[in-house]
Amino acid sequence: MNILIHALLYPEYVSGKRPNTTLFIHYYAAEWARQGHRVLVIHHKAVFPRLVVALCGLYAKTPLPLSGRVRDYLDGYGVDEDAEFTRDGVEVVRRSIVKPLPRLPYSRRSVQKRARLCRDILKEKSFTPDVVLADFLNPCLYVAEDMAQGLVGCALHDTDMGYISRFITRKSTLRALSRADFLGFRSEAQKQAFLHTAFSPKRSLLMPSGLPAALRVPARARERVRSFLCAGRMVTRKHMDVVIRAFGLLNRPDAALTLVGNGVEEAALRALAKEQPHSEHIYFAGRKTREETLAAMAQADCFALLSQPETFGMVYVEAMSTGAIPIAARGEGGEAFIRDGETGFLLEPGDAEGLAARMGALMDMDGEKVSEMSRRAEASVRPLRDDKLAQSAAEAFARWMQETKA
């Protein structure tokens, strides 16, 4: 089948990615291409007027609310130039689209203009889509609906849930989503939250992240817990400061904490680490590749990160695949596959005292119980593989296409 993806955040190069984007939808696209489908991605790269970027830069230097998120966005703003390339068998067409202000929907006129551009791209590529997947609502789903081609669906993210929760955008968001032929949810927790606050969609599927089938991760059952690992972008919403403060409250000379990643909060986190007891056992490993991070996870006994919000939490899956015992935030994406007390632990976001207590309890846990939990954690994420997830989604698309033709 021909699968067209309208993407808001997408890798901008043949390899690698900028810090504040995601490879989530590319992993699906690459697997669909490997499975014989033709996949075309139109990347709607949002760019802001220079004055807006300059004002955001000034705001980022203040201690005001959301300044950390603004700093993070500007730190990985990316490129504005249009481009076309092929990555892992996926055709990618990047076209910039100007957005006057952050967090606002695109105008109807902008959407219609973008839809006309996309029709020209499809004509040039001789591409007639069977399935159209909008990754993010704004502007991707609006553009897809205006084009009115193929089976149209939308993969939802935290940003989209935010549009639902805000009064000024709720009505238009729900109207657009209700018109979609299907919705993709990043986790079961996100789906349940949507059903509770919105409506029951015509069709839906889960679209979590998975591990590459070709990636061989060394897994081992832990026998005791002494080394803790925290990995991710060092930004406000990851709350790595909570892990550092918990390690200080733990106050155990036989424990070690390693932090993998970098970002706008790194200097503040390093300063906080120096204030903790046994600060010499807190290590900053810097930014690593996915393979290097997995190797670090394979060496650690426990992976701890209480990030909020977290739509899915691929990093927990990666850690669990090596046998590391995870500790994640309750009510976030990790809750969909971490069973509290069985395959890991769930704590309230921001609870440094609770995390310290849990870390201490893990260190004192009987070795046999540690091994059992480690093995259960690894076994529970085996089904989360990119090839299996993409195949399941493709089968759902094919089934729904037949239903619409009947």
Give the CATH number for residue 129. 3.40.50.2000
pLDDT tens digit sequence for 55-93: 777 877 787 777 777 776 666 556 668 999 999 999 999
| Residues in Cβ contact with 252 at an 8 Å cutoff, skipping those fewer than 6 apart | 278, 360, 363
Q: Quick check: is 104 in a domain?
A: yes
Shared domain check, 234 and 188: no
Shared domain check, 396 and 329: no
Strand partners, 152: 132
Shared domain check, 335 and 288: yes
Shared domain check, 33 and 65: yes
Whether the ω angle into residue 139 lies within 30 degrees of 0, i.e. cis, is yes
Shared domain check, 400 and 290: no
Q: Quick check: is 218 in a domain?
A: no
pLDDT (mean) for 138-162: 94
Shared domain check, 320 and 205: no
Shared domain check, 162 and 40: yes
Closest to 122 (Cα-Cα) out of 93, 87, 82? 93
Contact 185, 194 (CB under 8 A): yes
Closest to 21 (Cα-Cα) out of 33, 7, 32, 42? 7
Shared domain check, 114 and 24: yes
Q: Quick check: is 217 in a domain?
A: no
* Domain residue limits at 74: 2-210+385-405
Count of the separate structural domains present in the chain:
2
CA angle 187, 191, 197 (to 5 degrees): 145
Confidence (pLDDT) at 7: 96
Q: Quick check: is 12 in a domain?
A: yes
Shared domain check, 302 and 165: no
* Residue 354, helix vs strand vs coil: helix
Q: Quick check: is 272 in a domain?
A: yes
Shared domain check, 176 and 252: no
pLDDT (mean) for 183-210: 92
Confidence (pLDDT) at 77: 58
pLDDT tens digit sequence for 28-43: 999 999 999 999 999 9
Confidence (pLDDT) at 79: 63
* Residue 270, helix vs strand vs coil: helix
Shared domain check, 88 and 22: yes
Whole-number Cα distances in Å, 196 to 190, 226, 330: 10, 40, 18
Provide, rounded to the nearest whole percent, the portion of the chain with pLDDT above 70: 96
Whole-number Cα distances in Å, 186 to 55, 179, 196: 33, 20, 16
pLDDT tens digit sequence for 229-244: 999 989 888 999 999 9
Shared domain check, 326 and 282: yes
Which of 207-211, 261-265, 308-312, 370-374 has the least mean pLDDT?
A: 308-312
**272 vs 80, which has greater pLDDT?**
272
H/E segment holding residue 84 = strand 83-87
Q: Quick check: is 285 in a domain?
A: yes
pLDDT tens digit sequence for 303-335: 999 988 777 788 999 999 999 999 999 988 788
